[in-house]
Amino acid sequence: MVDKFRFDNQKKSTTPASTMQRAASEDKAVTKEVDDALREAIESGATDIHFEPMQDKLVIRMRKDGELSVLREIPEGIRGNVTNRLKVLATMDFTKTHIPQGGFFKMVSDEKSVEMYAHLLPTLYGESIAINIQYKQSATMRLNQLGMAKTLLERYRKILNHDTGLFLVTGPPGSGRRTTVYASILEVLNPGLLAMGYDPVVKYEIAGMVQGKLEEKTEFTFAEAVSEMFKQGPDIAYVGDIVNDAEAHSTIHGSLAKRRVFGRMTANDSISAVQNFLDMGMQPFLVTAALVGVVNQRLLPKLCTSCREAYPVDDLLQKEIGYRLPQGTSFYRAKGCPACGNNGYKGVVGLYELFIPTEEVRKMIVAKESPRVLRKAAQEGMSTLKQDGVRKAMAGYCTIEEVLNVL
Ligand SMILES: [Zn+2]
């Protein structure tokens, strides 16, 4: 069943009421067109909507699973009304057309609440507006639903039993790190524990966890929020994305007390995460004392199982992969059919590796060995992201090209 979304705007617009009323009545059809497009995007689970002014029209597109698709095309003559409608919704200053602006509005249904962050930029043929959609919903994804390989999942669950230390999830932005962190927290959360989290954006709410985010009016930094949060003595703490020295400092020190700390970091691999901490001024012995494990991940488009096509591996590909594959191995390519809306992909698939620093690797980190040497030692006995990707490509979840591309 489809949720019926309506607007939930509590903030007052900065635009004079008379101007707003005039605008609102200017073109009811355009208003309906815009509102329908917004609803359509939310109901289909899009992450962004773009209103792109072109020479002869305004194109409305949505991004879903990383791919853009057209929602509407608005004729040139009335595209101004569309931007006006959005400016009213996002409580932007209606009278100004030559400056970038940011705005916000909410849409709610009986079950969900969706936050819409709008950004406006003056361009050649009018104002370009991008809306980032943040779905607030309960975190329900469990670790065993993420698509982790069985042995990796078992090893990860085992280290999650440690009740002290830092559990990190790394990867580029958009690689699904937050989902993994939340699933990990759900794994260890129980009513006897105090769980608290701070994040720049709260995408999911976890039942039983106290969550905070930085608002416009907040007069403290993210690092301060994290460090203050630790003063309340959480047994489980989530510290969001660790990006600067102050945040690294709060996180590492908070992880040394008897509690589990979960965080995300933008890094290509686990060793780079260790290196980032050192670059952010942390002492190597503190990093090794705090860090329990790092999940490094990527998110790829998932091949449609109704139309994917198998093909045999050739020598060139075999060489690029760098290790011997079993005789008769096939990979798969996208084709397109009615089941996937003709684009060949449906949903996403995650690639994972898990780095648990051994005694030897910890000693090497303290001895400030080079990242290259560390990486080599860390990969001993570890199933790498590449191996996970090749395995998933062989099973037909994703194309081998995309696996090799994201490593
Ligand atoms: Zn298909």
Q: Name the burial class of residue 191, with classes exposed (0-12), middle (13-18) and buried (19+) by CB atoms within 10 angstroms of its CB.
A: exposed
Cα of 400 from ligand 1 centre, angstroms = 18
State the Cα–Cα distance between residues 13 and 159, nearest whole angstrom: 50
Buried b (16+ CB within 10 A) or exposed e, 309-345: eeeebeeebeeebeeeeeeebebbebeeeeebeebbb
Give the C-alpha separation, 332 to 302, whole Å: 11
Please report, for the domain that includes residue 391, its CATH number. 3.40.50.300
345 CA → ligand 1 middle, Å? 6
CATH number for the domain that contains residue 110? 3.30.450.90
What's the gap in Å between 4 CA and the centre of ligand 1? 29
Q: Compute the distance between CA of residue 189 and CA of residue 194 in angstroms, rounded to an integer.
A: 9
- In the listed set 79, 105, 137, which residue is the last one of a domain according to the structure? 137
H or E element at residue 268 = none
In this structure, the answer to whether residues 124 and 145 fall within a common structural domain is no
132 DSSP 8-state letter: E
User: Does some domain include residue 340?
Assistant: yes
- The reply to whether 111 and 126 lie within a common domain is yes
In a domain, 17, yes or no: yes
- For CA atoms 132, 136, 141, 142, the dihedral sign is positive
Residue 378 within a domain: yes
In a domain, 107, yes or no: yes
Asked if residue 114 lies in contact with residue 133, where contact means CB atoms within 8 angstroms, the answer is yes
Domain boundary among 137, 167, 196: 137
**CA 142 – ligand 1 centroid, Å:** 27
| Domain final position from 84, 103, 137 | 137
Strands 48-53 and 57-64: antiparallel
Largest CA distance in the chain: 74
Cα–Cα distance between 282 and 224 in angstroms, integer? 17
pLDDT (tens, 9 = 90+) of the chain, 407 residues, equals 445 777 775 444 454 555 555 555 556 888 888 999 999 999 998 999 999 999 999 999 999 988 899 999 999 888 888 999 999 999 999 888 889 999 989 888 776 778 899 999 999 999 999 999 988 767 778 999 999 999 999 999 999 999 999 999 999 988 999 999 999 999 999 999 999 999 887 878 888 999 998 776 778 888 999 999 999 999 999 999 999 999 999 999 999 999 999 999 999 998 999 999 999 999 999 999 999 999 999 999 999 999 999 999 988 888 999 988 998 899 999 999 999 889 899 888 999 999 999 999 999 999 999 999 999 999 888 889 999 999 999 999 999 999 999 98
Q: Are residues 154 and 232 in the same domain?
A: yes
> How far, in Å, is the centroid of ligand 1 from the Cα of 343?
7
Q: How far is the CA of 180 from the centre of ligand 1 (A)?
A: 27
Report how far ligand 1's centroid is from the alpha carbon of 339 (Å): 5
With respect to residue 104, please indicate whether it lies within any of the assigned structural domains: yes
Q: Residue 216's pLDDT is what?
A: 67
Q: In the prediction, which pLDDT does 207 show?
A: 86
91 within 8 A of 14, measured Cβ to Cβ: yes
Ligand 1 midpoint to CA 148 (Å): 24
Q: How far, in Å, is the centroid of ligand 1 from the Cα of 309?
A: 10
Positions of E strands within 245-290 = 260-266
For residues 106 and 174, membership in a common domain is answered with: no
Distance 94 CA to ligand 1 centre (A): 44
Q: What's the 303 CA to ligand 1 centre distance in angstroms?
A: 8
152 and 280 together in one domain: yes
Distance between CA atoms of residues 278 and 210, nearest Å: 30
CA of residue 347 to ligand 1 center, whole Å = 11
Q: Are residues 212 and 287 in the same domain?
A: yes
Residue 253 and residue 231 in one domain:
yes
SS3 state of residue 52: strand
pLDDT value of residue 202: 81
Hey, what are 16's tokens? 């004079």
Distance 62 CA to ligand 1 centre (A): 20
**Residue 210 falls inside a structural domain:** yes
Q: Tell me how many degrees the CA angle 286-168-135 measures, rounded to the nearest 5.
A: 140
Q: How far is ligand 1, taken at its centre, from the CA of residue 205, in Å?
A: 33
Sign of the four-CA dihedral 153, 159, 163, 165: negative
Q: How far is the CA of 83 from the centre of ligand 1 (A)?
A: 36
Q: What is the dihedral of CA 160, 161, 164, 169, to 10 degrees?
A: 0
Residues near 217 by Cβ (< 8 Å), separated by ≥ 6? none
Q: Is residue 359 packed enough to be buried (19+ CB in 10 Å), middle (13-18) or exposed (0-12)?
A: exposed
Six token digits for residue 11: 């903030």
Please give the Cα distance from 161 to 354 (Å, whole number). 15
How far is the centre of ligand 1, averaged over its atoms, from the C-alpha of 304 (Å)?
Answer: 4
Kindly report the backbone phi and psi dihedral angles of residue 141, in degrees, each rounded to the nearest multiple of 5, phi listed first.
-65, 125
pLDDT at 108: 82
For ligand 1, the distance from its centroid to the CA atom of residue 337, given in whole angstroms, is 4
Q: 346 alpha carbon to ligand 1 midpoint, in Å? A: 7
For residue 398, report the distance from its CA to the centre of ligand 1, in Å.
13
- pTM for the model stands at 0.72
Residues 159 and 115 in one domain: no
Separation of CA 397 and ligand 1 centre (Å): 12
Query: Do residues 172 and 257 both lie within one domain?
Result: yes
Q: Which residues contact 54 (CB under 8 A, 6 or more apart)?
A: 125
Same domain as 397, residue 261: yes
Alpha carbon of 258 to ligand 1 centroid (Å): 49
Task: Return d(Cα 381, Cα 144) in angstroms, integer.
Answer: 22
Q: Are residues 130 and 174 in the same domain?
A: no
Q: Is 110 inside a domain boundary?
A: yes
Distance from residue 403's CA to the centre of ligand 1 (Å): 20
Measured in Å, residue 349 CA sits from the centre of ligand 1 at 15
**Residue numbers of the domain that contains 186:** 139-406
- Looking at the fold, whether 133 and 262 belong to one and the same domain comes out as no
Report phi then psi at 153, rounded to 5: -60, -45
Name the domain count of the chain. Answer: 2
Q: What is the DSSP letter of 49?
A: E
Assigned domain for 1 exists: no
Residue 383 Cα to ligand 1 midpoint, Å, equals: 30
